Amino acid sequence: MRNGEIAVRAKGGKRMKKVSLAFKLAVIIVLSVVTVSVISFMGISKLGQLNNKLNNIVDINAKKVQYSLTINTDILRMARAEKNMIMVTTTEEMDKHYNNFYIYYKDYQSNVSNLKKLSTDDEKETIDKSTLEVETYVELFENKISVFTRQN
């Protein structure tokens, strides 16, 4: 045998082809490269899927937060219109703020509807409870506050 060659024996002790050390190293390197390539490809594709899922979660939650903040602003605008209606002295100004109240209320309803489309069932239940409180406030505005304001 020459230096760097190994004799391989088959069953029964017969000599098979001599395989050089360089060939064995080449086979090991090729198998390693193929294994690393397959593992890398699988890892990258799984990371891509994970990234898409995270982007979807972040986008939906960001929209929910945006709608929640807008709903909060709508309620504040409704309260401000109510206050302005109480503060003014002329009927025309009262009518203007009364109408503004309902414009803001329609914006509120639209934003609540959009938020519900993105929400889970548990979140929808919480939204419904909050909406019920706002509906009570709107009834109070319509039946009491606006009536008493116009009487003064």
Residue 130 has pLDDT above 90, yes or no: yes
Mean pLDDT to the nearest integer, 41-70: 91
Q: Mean pLDDT check: name the lowest of 28-37, 53-62, 87-96, 109-118.
A: 53-62
pTM of the model: 0.67
- DSSP letter at 136 equals H
Q: What is the pLDDT of residue 57?
A: 84
DSSP assignment string, 44-110: HHHHHHHHHHHHHHHHHHHHHHHHHHHHHHHHHHHHHHHHHHHH--SHHHHHHHHHHHHHHHHHHHH
Residue 11 has pLDDT above 90, yes or no: no
Given its phi and psi angles, is residue 86 left (phi above 0), alpha (psi -120 to 50 degrees) or beta? alpha
Q: Rounded to whole angstroms, how far apart are CA atoms 44 and 123?
A: 34
Q: What is the pLDDT of residue 86?
A: 93
Q: Rounded to whole angstroms, how far apart are CA atoms 139 and 35?
A: 70
What percent of the chain is predicted at pLDDT more than 90? Answer: 73
Q: Rounded to whole angstroms, how far apart are CA atoms 56 and 83?
A: 41
Residue 9 has pLDDT above 90, yes or no: no
**pLDDT band (50, 70, 90) for residue 56:** confident
Q: Rounded to whole angstroms, how far apart are CA atoms 137 and 78?
A: 10
Q: What is the pLDDT of residue 5?
A: 53
Mean pLDDT of the chain: 89
- Radius of gyration of the chain from its Cα atoms, rounded to whole angstroms: 37
